[in-house]
């Protein structure tokens, strides 16, 4: 018996099977006209009545169909009459149906690719072929219909004790506040003012990821790709960025060979014009890298989010910044989920946030929809005192991985000449977690005095008062 006949029989006699597979079946998977019409009759009936059709109902619907030639009509009648109730194990049948759909999807994709190659009209470009094949290879059944709180308690217990795959930092306090690093499928945002160190922080993290054996994709829409690579060079080669132009070729080659010996992973830097690329472009880039360089990133950096383009909202559309930036954030988080990686990006502070030594979520520029979408968000700020000490202040703003009140504020060392961050001594963290930098300023102390609870007047403190 052909697999198509088995599928049709179970679609009308096995409700458990039908509910699992019918959302994934498509008419295009059935090459024979009689099979395609048979499936169409079943699919239309289920969509309209939310129930499985009987053989009699199928026969009536067939008689009402127009546009069928006599041969096809007779063939469909024979198929319907031959459908019988089968005693087949449902899980096995679901697996076989999934395999059938995957094979048909790949076959159809190959045939479509050949048509694209032969097409002279240019309606579809040859560059769309990898995506066509990728979509076909990605066909699978998701038959999970929810987590049963009582029956799936054992699965939940195992989940609680399963060690999650995370991307660790090389900075102690960042690992503490994230429970060991960034999980996959997450959007992580750095909030800072202009010139404080957003790109420096991302370049440092990218360099650290490379040395720990991770494939890194760094997308820049702000600076040239070689400027980003220059910052990473300063970090990894341990050379001040101003001296890179002075280093002899042989010394540079030796240092690069030493780095190559430490890791087998790759770091790719891709430059796009400002506001001219979005998640669709980044998805195409990743597929191209996979196809041409056999490169799949373990982490993605995008410098930076606000100057990306939305793939859903057309350029020039009459939308406000809240909607636009939130759309971009949602698309980038979707990209992280699709490729199962953590994605790190950055955003600017508002004008008032630029001079604020104690950043908050309200200091996010353009759209509060960004922190609403992000999984992890931290702000970095500086001051003359911190710059003199070679430090920057880090403050947790949103944290889905841990309690945001745990180590809410801390400082890390910064070496701007070598584009590097580093852990500082523990005594440098003194008071940072409990007292905001604003409260330690002279204005903050005055504000505290003004708002302190009023005490009862004590006339004994005033000499000569009667």
pLDDT in tens, 310-320: 988 876 667 78
Let me know whether 112 and 205 are in one domain: no
Q: In terms of residue numbers, what domain contains 217?
A: 168-379
Phi and psi angles of residue 380, each rounded to the nearest 5 degrees, phi first: -125, 135
Rounded mean pLDDT, 71-80: 92
**Given a cut of 90, is residue 286 above it in pLDDT?**
yes
DSSP track, 299-323: EEEEE-GGGSPPSSSPTT-S--HHH
355 band by pLDDT with thresholds 50, 70 and 90:
low
- Position of tokens 């101003």? 242
- Work out the angle at residue 448's Cα, subtended by the Cα atoms of residues 445 and 450, and round it to the nearest 5 degrees: 110
Let me know whether 219 and 101 are in one domain: no
The reported pLDDT for the residue numbered 440 is 47
**Given a cut of 70, is residue 8 above it in pLDDT?**
yes
Residue 412 contacts residue 421 (beta carbons within 8 Å): yes
CATH code of the domain covering residue 86: 1.10.860
152 is a domain residue:
no
Residue 407 contacts residue 173 (beta carbons within 8 Å): yes
Which letter, b or e, does each residue of 193-216 get, where b requires 16 or more Cβ atoms within 10 Å of its Cβ? beebbbbbbbbbbbbbbbeeebbb
**Alpha-carbon span 13 to 22, nearest angstrom:** 13
Looking at per-residue confidence, does 308 or 428 come out higher? 308
Q: Which of 115, 136, 157 is the last residue of a domain?
A: 136
pLDDT cut 70: percent of the chain above it: 88
Per-residue pLDDT reduced to its tens digit, 29-58:
998 999 999 999 999 999 999 899 999 999
**Given a cut of 90, is residue 351 above it in pLDDT?**
no
Let me know whether 240 and 355 are in one domain: yes
Per-residue pLDDT reduced to its tens digit, 130-158:
777 877 777 777 666 678 888 888 888 88
Let me know whether 214 and 289 are in one domain: yes
The answer to whether the predicted template modeling score (pTM) of the entire model surpasses 0.75 is no
The reported pLDDT for the residue numbered 441 is 46
Rounded mean pLDDT, 409-434: 82
Let me know whether 108 and 253 are in one domain: no
**CA pseudo-torsion sign 120, 123, 127, 129:** negative
Let me know whether 117 and 11 are in one domain: yes
Looking at per-residue confidence, does 445 or 196 come out higher? 196
Per-residue pLDDT reduced to its tens digit, 294-309:
999 999 999 989 999 9
The reported pLDDT for the residue numbered 376 is 95
């Amino acid at each position: 018996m052909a697999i198509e006949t088995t599928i049709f029989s179970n679609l009308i006699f096995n409700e458990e099977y039908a509910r699992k597979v019918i959302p994934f079946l498509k008419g295009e998977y059935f090459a024979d006209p009689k099979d395609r019409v048979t499936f169409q009759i079943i699919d239309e009936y289920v969509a309209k009545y939310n129930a499985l059709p009987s053989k009699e109902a199928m026969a009536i619907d067939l008689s009402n169909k127009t546009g069928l030639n006599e041969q096809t009509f007779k063939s469909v009648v024979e198929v319907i009459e031959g459908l019988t109730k089968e005693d087949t194990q449902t899980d096995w049948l679901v697996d076989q149906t999934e395999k059938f759909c995957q094979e048909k999807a790949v076959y159809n994709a190959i045939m479509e690719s050949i048509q694209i190659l032969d097409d002279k009209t240019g309606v579809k470009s040859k560059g769309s072929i990898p995506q066509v094949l990728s979509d076909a290879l990605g066909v699978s059944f998701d038959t999970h219909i929810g987590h049963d709180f009582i029956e799936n308690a054992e699965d939940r217990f195992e989940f609680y004790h399963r060690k999650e795959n995370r991307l660790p930092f090389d900075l102690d306090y960042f690992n503490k506040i994230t429970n060991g690093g960034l999980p996959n499928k997450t959007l992580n945002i750095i909030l800072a003012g202009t010139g404080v160190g957003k790109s420096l922080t991302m370049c440092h993290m990218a360099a650290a990821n490379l040395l720990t054996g991770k494939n890194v994709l760094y997308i820049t829409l702000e600076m040239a790709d070689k400027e980003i690579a220059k910052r990473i060079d300063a970090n990894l080669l341990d050379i001040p960025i101003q001296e890179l132009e002075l280093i002899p070729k042989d010394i540079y080659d030796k240092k690069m060979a030493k780095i190559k010996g430490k890791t087998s992973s790759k770091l790719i830097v891709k430059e796009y014009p400002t506001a001219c690329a979005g998640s669709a472009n980044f998805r195409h880039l990743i597929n191209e890298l996979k196809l041409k360089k056999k490169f799949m990133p373990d982490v993605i950096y995008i410098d930076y989010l606000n100057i990306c383009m939305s793939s859903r909202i057309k350029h020039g559309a009459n939308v406000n910044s809240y909607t636009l930036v939130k759309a971009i954030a949602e698309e980038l988080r979707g990209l992280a989920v699709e490729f199962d990686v953590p994605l790190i990006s950055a955003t600017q502070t508002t004008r008032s946030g630029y001079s604020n030594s104690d950043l908050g979520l309200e200091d996010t520029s353009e759209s509060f929809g960004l922190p609403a979408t992000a999984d992890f968000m931290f702000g970095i700020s500086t001051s003359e005192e911190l710059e003199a000490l070679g430090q920057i202040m880090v403050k947790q703003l949103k944290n889905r991985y841990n309690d945001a009140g745990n180590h809410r504020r801390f400082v890390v060392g910064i070496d701007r000449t070598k584009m590097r961050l580093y852990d500082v001594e523990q005594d440098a963290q003194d008071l940072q977690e409990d007292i905001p930098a604003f409260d330690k300023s002279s204005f903050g102390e005055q504000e505290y005095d003004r708002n302190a609870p009023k005490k009862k007047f004590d006339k004994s403190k005033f000499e000569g008062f009667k």
